[in-house]
Amino acid sequence: MTFDYDLFVIGGGSGGVRAARVAAAGGARVALAEQDRYGGTCVIRGCVPKKLMVFASEYANDMKDAQAYGWTVHAGGFDWDRFHGKLTDELDRLEGVYRNLLKNSGVDSFDARARLSDAHTVTLSTGESYSAKHILIATGGRPVRPDLPGAEHGIVSDDIFHLPKLPKSILIIGGGYIACEFAGVLNGLGVEVTQYYRGAQILRGFDDEARGLVAEEMIQGGISLHLGTNILSMEKDGAGYRVKSTNGTEKVFDQVFFATGRRPNSDDLGLEDLGVELGRGGQIVVNEYSQTAVPSIYAIGDVTDRVNLTPVAIREGMAFVETVFNGNPTPVDHDLIPTAIFTQPEIGTVGLSEEDARAQEPIEVYCTSFKPMRQAFAGRVNRVMMKLVVSQETRKVLGCHIVAPGAGEMIQMAGIAVKMGATKEDFDRTCAVHPTMAEELVTMKTPVRTG
């Protein structure tokens, strides 16, 4: 059978674009359809604009520190309109980069919604249909609102970048990384931030000691964090929203922001009619090669709800091309992925938490917490943490957890060592870089806990 394309990619985010480009560079005939903006969640509605907002929010403390270091600083308030205009321009530029990458790679792009008519046919919202030997679904995910009275009045993470003005007060619902990152961002930009989380501690799934320190630092930084608390209902009240909560309080906020989870974009793609299996959360079920139950259909990225990180989606796309077009079956490696959460302070983490490691085998824990030199000199009382979780039997470092400014930069380097299987003694043999925060990773000699 002759196909119009060797590969048709549905979704123009980081994973889909990378797979399309690499396959086309190898000589495949490739098409890609995207119904929204090219670049996907990360570039348009996630990592990139969020990180720029993190940068913007940190200048308030930077200027206070500068004064403590002897500088005369004259700064006015934060100008949201000025920042937002530059942010929009940067996202437009990046979308143009993604479009040009596809064009220059020889990929045919369609600005349309796509769904599958059969195992080898894609039909676009514009009416055209194209056949393809292989179909790759990379449609990502979307934020969801909870099912409660008045929830339609709240905003979600996609909306935060398009606010016409910053609210004076905001209630953030949730305790995951999105909720905690934006709590820090908005607090730094001068918004009065309240955060409700129904659980006992924020950042579930991360190392307990690390997330505990982040919670303490968030509260000390001015965020009103309420654990074990959830929203019952919200309703319009003048220019704001009256919120009833499980702790018995009622309060009016200018804005309410739901960071209560995301759902894969697998709806109305025609998948179930073709025999593609979907999980309970709507995720596309795939094997280790990102292949669905229908042999010609593959899926990568957040729509599979495996490890929802941009670099992971890109690696899944590369493994797909290697498997399908290069004749080299390459399973996706989801083990020991370093990651950062851009809370204030940041968390950098790779490997097992202390709790997960202890459930697996006997361990030693090396940990230190201290006031970093830069902030301490400026009179701040913020603390940072460096932690290694070590196997008693093999001496391998099972987990590394950093809570500190710049933790994301540090964990990238530590992640190489942990991925290579470095032992505690390998860390010990490495000479310290002084004076730095990260030197503590190689100078901790005595475990603080064993078991």
pLDDT at 76: 81
Q: Which domains are delineated in the chain?
A: 5-142+263-324 (3.50.50.60), 151-259 (3.50.50.60), 339-450 (3.30.390.30)
pLDDT at 86: 97
The parts of the chain modelled with pLDDT lower than 70 are none
pLDDT at 376: 96
pLDDT at 339: 98
pLDDT at 124: 98
Contact 387, 366 (CB under 8 A): yes
- Tokens encoding 361: 């085998």
pLDDT at 258: 98
pLDDT digits (tens, 9 = 90+) for 40-98: 999 999 999 999 999 999 999 999 999 999 999 987 889 999 999 999 999 999 999 99
> What type of residue is 325?
F
pLDDT at 74: 82
Angle formed by the axes of helices 47-68 and 80-104, to 10°? 140
pLDDT at 39: 96
pLDDT at 75: 75
CA 286 to chain centre: 21
The Cα angle at residue 293 between residues 292 and 296, in degrees rounded to 5 = 65
Q: How far apart are CA 292 and CA 161, in angstroms?
A: 34
pLDDT at 346: 98
pLDDT at 335: 97
- Tokens encoding 248: 């018995």
Q: How far apart are CA 449 and CA 389, in angstroms?
A: 10
Dihedral angle, C-alpha 58, 338, 36, 135, nearest 10 °: 170
Q: How far apart are CA 233 and CA 240, in angstroms?
A: 14
Phi and psi torsions of 177, nearest 5°: -65, -35
pLDDT digits (tens, 9 = 90+) for 288-317: 999 999 999 999 999 999 999 999 999 999
Q: Which residues are catalytic?
A: 434
